[in-house]
Structure 1
Amino acid sequence: MESFTSAQAYLERHFSSGKTYSLERIRSLLSDLKSPHLAVPTIHVGGTAGKGSTSFLIASILEHAGYRVGLYTSPHLISITERITIDRTPITESAFVAILESIKSAIPQGATYFEIITAMTFAYFAREHVDVAIVEVGVGGKLDCTNVVDPRVSVITNVGLDHTEILGETIEDISRDKREIIKPKKPVISGVTQPQIRDLIIEKAASVDAPLFLAGRDFHIKNLTIGRPIVFDYVSPEKTLSNLELSLLGRHQVVNAAVAITAVFQSGFIVTADAIRKALSTASYPGRMEVMGNIIIDGAHNPMKIQALSNALTDHFPGVQFETLFAVKGDKNAFDMVRTLAPFVSHWYLTTLEALTDWGKGQMLPVNALEKTIKEADPGKPVSVVEKPEEFLQNPPPPTLITGSLYLVGAVEKWISGSRT
């Protein structure tokens, strides 16, 4: 592997591999690499929405407590190196190339893009002797290639309809898939509130004797004050933390923070209240309710995440309507996303961009199809088409909201930063 560019090209050739979902390939690969995924204590984080933010918050708390923390998330915004970090520092391009080269001979026929990057991550964290790895599920749970870890704690943030072509058409099907990250006798933490989904998680946890901690039952958010920062109390039978300040915006992030705190407490790592306070008060997560002057950037890309964004806009920007740059992947429920966001939009600006997912599919919804959807879901609103996001960004009309796709957010972040990565 001669360069970072050639390493990226190698991975991209595996986008269309592995149409059959199973754990056989990743298990074989990791076995040949002497099981690096078992060399480091792990916290495994799944869910439909909030798993990235929760993973980030868990990592931040442990880092502030003095641990060397590996964090594996997906997708990235600008560079693939963002997916693999230690103490919030992305893997260098040279280290990325070296790790890929070191495992290349063991990569089996048909291995997927995501399987290869996951194996690289485990190999890198083992090589760098991290104290703990926070591993975010890619899609689902049962057959996601991260589901080979032996976690200290499993987390299921919440469950909604997404990736139905892989996970099933109903919320119950998706819940059954996601709950498979629950492991025997290992604590599981969840922010799920829907009774029927809770019951499925309770059932699975009981069947494998896994201690279960549910938001609103076993730990609570009290005295919530919406502002910048958000202030709240975390309350559980074992611990009360009063007047916590959270710099992330949106009450959904408070739930994520409470789940993260509980996961850390159940992980066995020693963490002080001061470490938790510092982690929450300084948290900054690019592309998630990120405010840049008159621009808000949020990577909400399914109906559940758009609902969370809408709630956050109501809380933090009441009565404001936004000039909205919007793009959606073709496999998302664009109608429900538009209908939910419509009260916060004064003018829709539609754009598209080339996007490949880790599964080698999922081009962006064509602008003409998206325009038709908006006219059905939000009739009467002005709609404009911009060929490229950067055309809009050269003179964005305030106040501006950019959302609908993490790929769109990545393109925007790249343009704003001037990156050519």
Structure 2
Amino acid sequence: MTPDKWLEENYLGEIFSGRFEHLKILVEELDLMPRCQVVTIGGTNGKGETARILESILNSHQFKTALNTSPHLVAVNERFVFNGEAISDSELIENFQQIQSLLDQRISYFEFLFLVFLNVVKKKSPDIVILEVGLGGRLDATNVLNADIAAITSISRDHQDILGNSYRKIFFEKAGIFRKNQKVFTSFSLKFLNQLMQLTAQNLSLNWCPVEVGGDNFSQANRKLALAMAAELLDKEKCTIVSENTNDFAKRKSWMLKKKQFDLYPSHNPDGIRKLFQLLNASQYNHYDTLIISFSDRSERDLDAMIKTLKQSFRVDQIFYYNFDHAKSLKREKRKQLKDKFGLQSLDKETFSTELLGQNILVTGSNYFLGEFIRYHSGC
């Protein structure tokens, strides 16, 4: 049995409850509070990439790390990374069973996975734990820990039904990961967000370290943020990144299939689409002739903005909308309306054929879609 199958049989899907009052009690009762430094990274876009860059830097300096990210693309093991390596199936299931045996109450999918992660951390005793916030910050499971260092990568409109529809409201939710007198790093490009951050820093007596990003593209900004945090953790003025390629941490997967290149980048909201183009354009890697896209269910306004940005930014010969069934994917009628409106071609796992595609294919959209695409097509 795989860990994903075990979860299917024992826990419901990824439903955000926003009720974690009892989780800290469970963490304390099970003696799962980490006995090492903790870094929590939030933000609308870029938090996963920043976390992976930070992990890479720390590993290159011989620090033992534990990295918790979400969501996963193909297998839940991806959320449990220790010293750069995902946990094995057998070890993960063993920890699933151990935590399950200790619980006398029903908890959510997210809460359970976080308890399991902390259980593995307790056994492996890393030097530093790196947490990527799942959703928001204030009500996220990761926020039961008081981090030594916190960071916010960026803020834009996403999950507005939960986080609010204004930058001020979204900032409030993201800033919920901060603690009084804490060391905090940000890489905001908007003056308004820096003004909000300055007020928050004063109110909480934060040691705020704004990272200047200027005209940097999204990945360069994430690298600067990770380097600033690493310098603080390592107590060094200069840290180095193992890879100098700005795409290495943003790209989630790449492969050749029948002499055609497939590159997968997650990009699930309007701001993410814009930043993806900036990244690829800055690195002169914008020679794609085919786009394959698919998004989670969201407002018509957001969907229109994303498609328009893609069509204007990437002068490609073909744009395919990939149809797949998932609890969070666009419903069939909404997909049809979008394809008709923008003249998108249709594609799914049954009709997929490399003969339909160009030579250089960019695959982007929600993480759920990328996971589906990898499962069905990376080995075909």
TM-score (norm 1): 0.81
1:262-281 alignment runs, 5 A limit: 262-267=228-233, 269-270=234-235, 273=238, 276-280=240-244
Which of the numbers 217, 220, 233 marks the counterpart of 1:254? 220
1:76-95 alignment runs, 5 A limit: 76-95=72-91
Q: 1:212 is matched by which residue type in structure 2?
A: W
Q: Are 2:138 and 1:142 aligned?
A: yes
Using the alignment, how far apart are the partners of 1:319 and 1:111 within structure 2? 45
1:234 equivalent in structure 2: none
* Alignment RMSD (CA, Å): 2.7
1:284 equivalent in structure 2: 248
Using the alignment, how far apart are the partners of 1:272 and 1:278 within structure 2? 17
Using the alignment, how far apart are the partners of 2:157 and 2:268 within structure 1? 12
1:409 equivalent in structure 2: 370
Closer, same or farther in 2 for the Cα pair 1:390/1:90, shift >3 Å?
A: farther
Closer, same or farther in 2 for the Cα pair 1:368/1:322, shift >3 Å?
A: farther
Q: 1:265 is matched by which residue type in structure 2?
A: A
Offset, 1:281: 5.4
Secondary structure (helix, strand or coil) at the match of 1:349 reads strand
Offset, 1:389: 7.2
Using the alignment, how far apart are the partners of 1:338 and 1:64 within structure 2? 39
Closer, same or farther in 2 for the Cα pair 1:80/1:88, shift >3 Å?
A: same
Which of the numbers 20, 33, 39 marks the counterpart of 2:35? 39
Using the alignment, how far apart are the partners of 1:140 and 1:258 within structure 2? 22
1:373 equivalent in structure 2: 338
2:265 equivalent in structure 1: 298
2:154 equivalent in structure 1: 158
Using the alignment, how far apart are the partners of 1:310 and 1:5 within structure 2? 33
Offset, 1:8: 2.3
2:110 equivalent in structure 1: 114
Q: Are 2:316 and 1:355 aligned?
A: no
Question: Cα deviation per residue 1:309-337 (whole Å; 9 max; x = unaligned)?
Answer: 12123334577463211111113621111
Using the alignment, how far apart are the partners of 1:389 and 1:153 within structure 2? 47
Secondary structure (helix, strand or coil) at the match of 2:129 reads strand
Offset, 1:3: 6.0
Using the alignment, how far apart are the partners of 1:410 and 1:31 within structure 2? 34
1:1-400 alignment runs, 5 A limit: 4=3, 6-13=5-12, 15-16=14-15, 19=17, 21-34=18-31, 36-107=32-103, 109-216=105-212, 251-267=217-233, 269-270=234-235, 273=238, 276-280=240-244, 284-285=248-249, 287-288=251-252, 294-317=261-284, 320=287, 322-331=289-298, 333-343=302-312, 344=314, 345-356=316-327, 362=328, 364-376=329-341, 378=342, 382-388=343-349, 391-393=352-354, 396-400=357-361
Whether the 8 Å CA contact 1:193–1:215 is kept in 2: the answer is no
Using the alignment, how far apart are the partners of 2:237 and 2:41 within structure 1? 22
Secondary structure (helix, strand or coil) at the match of 1:139 reads coil
Offset, 1:165: 1.1
Whether the 8 Å CA contact 1:296–1:402 is kept in 2: the answer is yes
Secondary structure (helix, strand or coil) at the match of 2:372 reads helix
Q: 2:372 is matched by which residue type in structure 1?
A: A
Offset, 1:417: 4.1
Q: What are the ranges of 5 or more consecutive residues in structure 1 without an aligned counterpart?
A: 225-250, 357-361
Question: Cα deviation per residue 1:29-64 (whole Å; 9 max; x = unaligned)?
Answer: 212211x23323111000000000000011110000
Using the alignment, how far apart are the partners of 1:367 and 1:322 within structure 2? 26
Whether the 8 Å CA contact 1:78–1:411 is kept in 2: the answer is yes
Closer, same or farther in 2 for the Cα pair 1:193/1:107, shift >3 Å?
A: farther
Q: Matched residue pairs, number?
A: 373
Whether the 8 Å CA contact 1:44–1:151 is kept in 2: the answer is yes
Offset, 1:412: 2.5
Using the alignment, how far apart are the partners of 1:253 and 1:300 within structure 2? 13
Secondary structure (helix, strand or coil) at the match of 1:278 reads coil
Offset, 1:142: 0.5
Whether the 8 Å CA contact 1:99–1:124 is kept in 2: the answer is yes
Whether the 8 Å CA contact 1:59–1:69 is kept in 2: the answer is yes
Offset, 1:291: 7.3
Offset, 1:283: 7.7
Give identity over the alignment, percent.
Answer: 21
Offset, 1:110: 4.3
Offset, 1:371: 4.2
Whether the 8 Å CA contact 2:254–2:261 is kept in 1: the answer is no
Whether the 8 Å CA contact 2:67–2:131 is kept in 1: the answer is yes
Question: Cα deviation per residue 1:230-282 (whole Å; 9 max; x = unaligned)?
Answer: xxxxxxxxxxxxxxxxxxxxx21110000001111223x34584x51425459
Q: 2:231 is matched by which residue type in structure 1?
A: F
TM-score (norm 2): 0.89
Closer, same or farther in 2 for the Cα pair 1:296/1:212, shift >3 Å?
A: same
Offset, 1:294: 3.1
Closer, same or farther in 2 for the Cα pair 1:146/1:319, shift >3 Å?
A: closer
Whether the 8 Å CA contact 2:156–2:167 is kept in 1: the answer is yes
Q: 2:362 is matched by which residue type in structure 1?
A: L
Secondary structure (helix, strand or coil) at the match of 1:155 reads strand
Whether the 8 Å CA contact 1:351–1:367 is kept in 2: the answer is no
Using the alignment, how far apart are the partners of 1:390 and 1:56 within structure 2? 34
Using the alignment, how far apart are the partners of 1:9 and 1:113 within structure 2? 10
Closer, same or farther in 2 for the Cα pair 1:297/1:281, shift >3 Å?
A: closer
Closer, same or farther in 2 for the Cα pair 1:255/1:167, shift >3 Å?
A: same
Offset, 1:135: 0.4
Using the alignment, how far apart are the partners of 1:3 and 1:403 within structure 2? 27
Question: Cα deviation per residue 1:129-178 (whole Å; 9 max; x = unaligned)?
Answer: 11111100000011111001121210100100011111112121111110
